[in-house]
Structure 1
Amino acid sequence: MASLQHPHHAYRHVTVGGTNGKGTLAFNLMKQLPGKVGLFCSPHLVDIRERITINGNFVADRVWQEAYAFLSQKIDPRTLSYFELMLLTAVVVFQREAVDWAVFEVGLGGRWDAVNALAPELMVLTNVSLDHTRILGDTVEAIALVKIDIARTGKPFILPASIYNYPSVKTRLLEIKPLIKTYSDKGTIEDNLTCYNRLCYFLPIQPLSELALPLGRKMKVSQNLYVDASHNRAGWQSTVLWLQKHHPSPIRMLCNLSADRNVGEFVSIFKNISADMVVLPGDYEKVYRGVWPETVRFGDWNDLSTLMQEPVLVTGSLYFVGEFLRRFPTI
């Protein structure tokens, strides 16, 4: 950031962290903040340009190319991780496009995430549950201690009351000294609407009665097609609750997972709503390559028209849902 002369200082920005819900919250902040608003999010589902948008629109290829050329003059791109390169591209693009606001979604954790190099005027933590435990810790409290380090001294930091109530979290926040504001949450299931409306006290946004959902999240495409890019235990539990409202009878599932997921946990969570669980091949780098229980069956993308002759739920992984959407671009 210093070598680029701190381009992120050119506009007001917000950092959004959390295990679940941060993509949805960031998306709604982008839609509701005034003026020209940039959004940096990850991963992308269909097109890499989803990661850097302005007011919900793709940025012109020329702008990407010019930002990359500028970066390459200042920093050797080979010294950066993929995520770091995307973040630096975003901060430069937003500066060059003269955004009024930008919303940055944390990639992983908080303390050591590249987004934490920014200087936000407000930080929000949507939810904390067990995910990426080999990296972040094996308890909610341990993970929370990593995620709350996006907080800044004297700046508003909004987080769930259930997370703030951990003694170690309170101790750490006393050291950081942010302006702490909590909201009543539902524990392991994220409550994005309550979180968003709490932010109305600190940002120039209006309260909402319902949140808009980004691509791939809780999409009821038709009476026969439901899509949700949930990708961890808390997300899968949320998918079950959502589907039960819209399709109370058992449904065929088309699914695959990411490499670090617990397949037994996935099958157990969905067993009561799944009439038939069909695993389709995942053509993505982080696809799960372990053993599936005998209760599932394996299909092929060539069989999709037959598989979708009855209602289906597509879920299990952000990457898998992205692959499904690429094969059905009209959705």
Structure 2
Amino acid sequence: MNQNSVPQATSSLAVWLDYLSGIHSSSIDLGLERVQVVAGRAGLFKPAPLVITVAGTNGKGSTCALIESILLEAGYDVGVYSSPHLIRYTERVRINGEELSAERYCYAFDLIEKQRQDVSLSFFEFGTLAALVLLKEAGLDVVILEVGLGGRLDATNVVDHDISVVTSLAIDHIDWLGDDLEKIGYEKSGIFRPGRPAICGQYLPPASVAGYADEIGAKLYQAGIQYDHDVTDDVWCWKNGAFELDQLPIPGLPLPNAATALMALQCSGLEITDVQVVEGLKKAALPGRMQVIHHSPLVMLDVAHNPHSAAYLAEQISRNYPDRNIHIVIGMLHDKDIAETVSAFIPVAGDWYPASLEGPRAASAVEIRQYIPESSACQTYSSPTEAFKAAMTHVSQDDVILVVGSFFTVGEVLDYWQKREES
């Protein structure tokens, strides 16, 4: 559409998203000044009485989902903002576990468009402010915000949040955050607030995390020091000083993130029973995170797209499926560390199915192929769907298909699978 033509509240979501993609000079523009102006005009600095903001290289979405699940089990009204989405833009906001209609997003976009006036906003900034509108108007007890990129300069950081969480710290988004862990730690911990709980789920993080917490007087809760967890067979124990929760069920999401979620809830002061924690852990799930969509053969989807997340996933696959042949469908963006991400999967991989993605940041299947061992069975494919279809024709009932590498890869395969099941 003509980018000078402003959509209306009654315009379609597709029209709005097209408009938002063209009103700013770049898709990513870190900084808070412009967002603060519009958030102030719209009254969005405090969308709920309790706000938890979650940053980190990996595990943000899982940690948000774990906190959300336990709070819902405890009877609280909870909203979550997360990004990116897998299939539908409307996945980005959940109110009490449910997506909102496209019409509600269009209403929120229209409100922000009127409030921004002459302020230029990136696609993510505009979407974040619209999400805050939807969350605030829902009248919630708790809002959980997932940081998009970094932390200190991310649009979510304009919110006056009560609890800050940094899940993990690793090299990613080098073009924006650099390849220095101390600098990355500083950027992520930029969401910490003076006098308020600041939780770090990374064991032995860079010194910049504790340094920034000390500098501003945040109350730091560090994994391995203030809180920890132990696993015994099929149950685990969470510890915070002398306080312990034991015989907990192992959730379907990464356990370190569950431990960090429990620390955030401990800091919240909300009334939550042990039974509600147990039930919330059992029910916690998130599309595209260790998501099993078929059992024979087993098909698992995971958005692991950097060496840190790939290594964790490969470890889980090795532990849970030690004697199974693993087929890996992988599509990645070329600004990710393709070589090291592929390398992390090599110990568990049998056959490979590298796929090309679309768009300016997409890596080709040929680009991915060069990092896969020559001895591996491997052809290249034009899309994740084509790669997945090929994998399905080559597996036995006892094999595992692992779809990884990007939200785009997982989203496309999940969309294909859901439509296949519906038909």
- 1:192 equivalent to 2:257? Answer yes
Distance 1:191 1:304 in 2: 30
TM-score (ref. length: structure 2): 0.72
Q: 1:177 to 1:326 in 2, by over 3 A?
A: same
Deviation at 1:178, TM superposition (A): 0.9
**Conservation of the 8 A alpha-carbon contact between 1:144 and 1:163:** no
- Residue of structure 1 aligned with 2:334, choices 259, 279, 296: 259
Q: Which has the higher mean CA deviation after the structures are superposed, 260-269 or 205-214? A: 205-214
Task: Name the structure 1 match of 2:184.
Answer: 143
Normalised TM-score (structure 1): 0.90
Report if the CA contact (8 A) 1:230-1:316 is conserved.
Answer: yes
> SS state of the match for residue 361, structure 2?
coil
The answer as to 2:252 corresponding to 1:180 is no
Q: Deviations over 1:220-273 (max 9, x none)?
A: 231421221111111100110121133223311111111212222122211121
State the alpha-carbon separation in 1 of the partners of residues 180 and 76 from structure 2.
40
Q: CA deviation at 1:304?
A: 4.4
1:83 and 1:182 map into 2 onto residues whose CA distance is 30
Query: Which residue among 109, 130, 152 is the counterpart of 1:89?
Result: 130
Quick one: which of 300, 324, 328 aligns to 2:413? Answer: 324
2:108 maps to which of 56, 59, 67 = 67
Query: Which residue of 68, 82, 89 corresponds with 1:30?
Result: 68
The reply on whether 1:8 has 2:97 as its aligned counterpart is no
Letter in 1 for 2:107: E
- CA contact 2:328–2:353 (8 Å) conserved in 1: yes
Residue type of the alignment partner of 2:335: D
Question: Match for residue 216 of structure 1?
Answer: 288
Q: How many residues align?
A: 328
Partner of 1:268: 343
Structure 1 residue 15: Cα displacement? 0.2
CA distance in 2 between counterparts of 1:61 and 1:314 reads 28
Structure 2 counterpart of 1:73, one-letter code? K
Cα distance 1:77–1:11, how it changes in 2: closer, same or farther (>3 A)?
farther
Deviations 1:272-314 (A, max 9, x none): 2111111123235532147231634203545744421313211
Q: CA deviation at 1:47?
A: 0.6
What secondary structure sits across from 2:267 in the alignment?
Answer: coil
Match of 1:243 among 309, 317, 321: 317
Once superposed, which parts of structure 1, at least 4 consecutive aligned residues long, lie more than 6 Å away? none
Larger Rg: 2
Flag structure 1 segments of 5+ consecutive residues without an equivalent: none
The one-letter code sitting in structure 2 at the alignment partner of 1:125 is V
Cα deviation, residue 126, structure 1: 0.9
Q: Do the aligned residues in 2 keep the contact of 1:11 with 1:95 (CA within 8 Å)? A: no
Contiguous gaps of at least 5 residues in structure 2 = 1-38, 230-253
- Residue of structure 1 in register with 2:12 after alignment: none
Residue identity matched to 2:311: Q
Matched, 1:228 2:302: yes
1:37 touches 1:99 (CA, 8 Å); kept in 2? yes
Displacement of 1:97 after TM fit?
A: 1.9
Pair 217,160 (structure 1): closer, same or farther in 2 beyond 3 Å: closer
Contact 1:8 1:92 in 2 (8 A): no
Q: Deviation per CA, 1:144-177: give whole Å up to 9, x if none.
A: 111011000111111136355x443333222111
2:59 equivalent in structure 1:
21
* Percentage identity across paired residues of the two chains: 26
- TM superposition shift of 1:5: 2.3
Q: Deviations over 1:120-159 (max 9, x none)?
A: 1111111111111232131322211110110001111111
Aligned match of 1:308 in 370, 380, 392? Answer: 392
Q: Tell me which of the two structures has the higher relative contact order, counting C-alpha pairs closer than 8 angstroms and 6 or more residues apart.
A: 1
1:211 Cα deviation from its structure 2 partner:
7.0
Between the aligned partners of 1:6 and 1:207, the Cα distance in structure 2 is 30
Distance 2:203 2:261 in 1: 17
Q: How far 1:10 moved relative to its partner?
A: 4.5
Conserved? CA contact 1:126–1:192, under 8 Å: yes
Aligned counterparts of 2:116 and 2:222: Cα–Cα separation in 1: 39
CA distance in 2, matches of 1:304, 1:243: 18
